[in-house]
Chains A and B, each alone.
Chain A
Amino acid sequence: MKNIKNNIKDATIHDFLNPEFIYIPILDGYKISVKEKDHVLKEDVLMSKDGINIYSPISGTIVGKSDSLLLNNKKKDFLVIENDYKEEIKKPHGVIRYISDYDKDEMIKLINDYQASKVKLDTKAKRLIINGIDKDPYEKTRSFLINSSSDKILETVDALINVLDIKETIFAINNNDTNNVLNLSSHIGTYPNIRLKLMPDIYPIGYKTILLRNLLSKRQIDEGVIVLNVEDVYNIYTVLKRKKPILEKLVTISGKSIDNSMVVNVKIGTSMADLIKNACKVNNDKYYVIINGLISGMTLENLNTIITTDVRSIFLNPIDDQEEVPCINCGLCNLKCPMHLNPKYIKEHKNADTSKCIECGLCTYICPSKINFKPYVGGNHEE
Chain B
Amino acid sequence: MKNNVYVRSKKSIKNISLTRIVLLLPLIVFGVYKNGVYLYMNGYTNIIGLFKPIIFILSGAFIGASINLLFEKVIKRRKDKLINLLFSSFHIEYGILLGCLVSINTNIYVFLGVVFVMLFISKLFKNRINIMAVSYIIIYLIHMYTLGGYSFLNLYDTSRIFSLDFMDYMIGRGHGGIATTHIILLIISLIGINITNNNKSNISYSSIITLIILFSIYSVMSNIPIATLLLNNNYMFILVYVATDYVTSSYTLSGEIIFGILVSALTFGFYFINPILAPFIAITIVSLLNNLIDRLCNKFITNHQM
Seen from chain A, the residues whose Cβ lies within 8 Å of a Cβ on chain B are 73, 138, 288, 290, 294-295, 297-299, 301, 315, 317, 320, 322-323, 325-326, 328-332, 334-335, 340, 342, 344-345, 353, 361, 364-370, 372, 374-375, 378
B5 touches A342 (CB 8 A): no
Cα(A263)–Cα(B126), bound, Å: 47
- Taking A320-B4, A328-B89 as given, write out 4 further A-B residue pairs in contact, using a Cβ cutoff of 8 Å, ordered by the A residue number: A295-B5, A340-B305, A365-B8, A372-B2
Closest residue on chain A to residue B72 by CB atoms: A325
B294 touches A345 (CB 8 A): yes
B184-212 contacts to A, CB under 8 A, are 200
* A-B pairs with beta carbons under 8 Å apart, 15 shown: A294-B5, A294-B6, A298-B3, A329-B248, A329-B250, A334-B252, A334-B253, A342-B252, A364-B4, A366-B11, A367-B8, A368-B15, A368-B16, A370-B8, A372-B4
Closest beta carbon of chain A to B131's beta carbon, Å: 14
Cα(A378)–Cα(B4), bound, Å: 11
**Given known A335-B253, A374-B4, contact A329–B16 (CB-CB < 8 A):** no
A365 touches B5 (CB 8 A): yes
Cα(A364)–Cα(B252), bound, Å: 17
Closest beta carbon of chain A to B172's beta carbon, Å: 30
- Chain A residues within an 8 Å CB radius of B295: 345
Cα(A365)–Cα(B12), bound, Å: 11
Closest beta carbon of chain A to B5's beta carbon, Å: 4
Residue B223 at the chain A interface, CB threshold 8 Å: no
- Chain B residues within an 8 Å CB radius of A295: 5-7
**Given known A295-B7, A329-B290, A365-B8, contact A73–B1 (CB-CB < 8 A):** yes
A334 touches B3 (CB 8 A): no
Cα(A374)–Cα(B298), bound, Å: 20
Seen from chain B, the residues whose Cβ lies within 8 Å of a Cβ on chain A are 1-9, 11-13, 15-16, 78, 80, 88-90, 126, 200, 246-253, 256, 290, 294-295, 298, 301-302, 305
Q: Which of B5, B15, B251 contacts A372 (CB 8 A)?
A: B5
Closest residue on chain B to residue A372 by CB atoms: B4
**Which 6 pairs between the two chains have the least Cβ-Cβ distance?**
A331-B251, A364-B5, A294-B6, A368-B11, A361-B5, A328-B246
- Chain B residues within an 8 Å CB radius of A367: 8, 11
- Chain A residues within an 8 Å CB radius of B301: 342
Closest residue on chain B to residue A326 by CB atoms: B126
A328 touches B13 (CB 8 A): yes
Closest beta carbon of chain B to A293's beta carbon, Å: 9
Closest beta carbon of chain B to A311's beta carbon, Å: 16
A328 touches B247 (CB 8 A): yes
- Chain B residues within an 8 Å CB radius of A298: 3
Closest residue on chain B to residue A366 by CB atoms: B9
- Chain B residues within an 8 Å CB radius of A375: 2-3
A365 touches B298 (CB 8 A): no
- Chain B residues within an 8 Å CB radius of A340: 305
- Chain B residues within an 8 Å CB radius of A329: 246-251, 290
Closest beta carbon of chain A to B191's beta carbon, Å: 19
A315 touches B251 (CB 8 A): no
A374 touches B5 (CB 8 A): yes
**Given known A294-B6, A331-B256, A345-B294, contact A299–B1 (CB-CB < 8 A):** yes
Closest residue on chain A to residue B295 by CB atoms: A345
B253 touches A369 (CB 8 A): no
**Given known A331-B252, A342-B298, A345-B294, contact A369–B13 (CB-CB < 8 A):** yes
A330 touches B7 (CB 8 A): no
B4 touches A325 (CB 8 A): no
Cα(A138)–Cα(B246), bound, Å: 31
A320 touches B251 (CB 8 A): no
- Chain B residues within an 8 Å CB radius of A326: 126
Closest residue on chain B to residue A137 by CB atoms: B7
- Chain A residues within an 8 Å CB radius of B294: 345
A374 touches B3 (CB 8 A): yes
Cα(A16)–Cα(B289), bound, Å: 60
Cα(A334)–Cα(B302), bound, Å: 13
Closest residue on chain B to residue A359 by CB atoms: B3
Cα(A299)–Cα(B6), bound, Å: 9
A368 touches B12 (CB 8 A): yes
Closest beta carbon of chain B to A73's beta carbon, Å: 7
Cα(A353)–Cα(B301), bound, Å: 12
Closest residue on chain B to residue A315 by CB atoms: B6
- Chain B residues within an 8 Å CB radius of A369: 13
Closest beta carbon of chain B to A338's beta carbon, Å: 15
Closest residue on chain B to residue A4 by CB atoms: B7
Closest beta carbon of chain A to B82's beta carbon, Å: 15
Closest residue on chain B to residue A319 by CB atoms: B6
Cα(A331)–Cα(B203), bound, Å: 12
